[in-house]
Amino acid sequence: MALGREPGVIAYGEIGLDFYRNYQPRSTQISCLREQLELARQLGLPLIIHDREAHEDVLEILREHKAWEMGGTMHCFSGDWTFARKCLDLGFCLSIAGPVTFAKSISLQEVARNCPLDRLLLETDAPFLAPVPRRGKRNEPAYLIHTAEKIASIKKTDLAEVARQTTLNARELFKLPEPVKRRTRNH
């Protein structure tokens, strides 16, 4: 709890369920998620939710804990449009990573197309899931441009608008200050 009150802490996460890897029994994961949601509520922090092959369980627990009151984002979103709508209905943002650039990621591309731009975030999930043309390499923040370009193409808008709106979304969700503008010196 004390760490959550440290200056600079802007969210509680990444928390959630991973039924793909199953490093812990499902019952343990579910119990931990419930406890973490309560801590996040006490701290007044938005959530960063991990969900891998646990869509319905995640939704049920988020509803049960009235997670919309805290807000948050679905980290490295991997569901289809039906699941995306349910997350959006809970007031969550969808964070899109490199897989949206993969040729076979038709379902994720549909999510990106249909999700309102004011509810999208972009992420690297570094060091994993590097976007095309860096796929298979160690991912890094510099490659986020490729994900943003793909979103712009899918949404038929320009890159500057995707960058502007997703940055604004992150600032609002995580209550980030405006960047300090550098003053230029005239010599």
Task: Give me the CATH number covering residue 82.
Answer: 3.20.20.140
Domain that holds residue 61: 10-174
Domain count, the chain: 1
Asked if the structure places residue 180 within a domain, the reply is no
pTM over 0.85: yes
Q: How far apart are CA 155 and CA 116, in angstroms?
A: 9
Q: Is 156 helix (H, G, I), strand (E, B) or coil?
A: coil
**Those residues with Cβ within 8 angstroms of residue 32's Cβ, 6 or more apart along the chain or in another chain:** 15, 24
H/E run at residue 28? helix 26-43
**Those residues with Cβ within 8 angstroms of residue 171's Cβ, 6 or more apart along the chain or in another chain:** 177, 178
Asked if the structure places residue 70 within a domain, the reply is yes
Asked if the structure places residue 29 within a domain, the reply is yes
Asked if the structure places residue 22 within a domain, the reply is yes
Which mean pLDDT values do the consecutive 10-residue runs of the chain (187 residues) have? 92 97 94 98 98 97 98 97 98 98 98 98 96 96 98 98 98 92 68
Q: Which alpha helices (DSSP H) does 44-155 contain, by range?
A: 55-64, 81-89, 106-114, 144-155
* Exposed / middle / buried, residue 156 (Cβ in 10 Å: 0-12, 13-18, 19+): exposed
The pLDDT score that the predictor gives to residue 160 is 98
Asked if the structure places residue 182 within a domain, the reply is no
The strand pairing partners of 49, in sequence order, are 15, 74
Asked if the structure places residue 5 within a domain, the reply is no
Residues 6-43 as b or e (16 or more Cβ within 10 Å = b) = eeeeebbbebbbeeeeeeeeeeebbeebeebbeebbeb
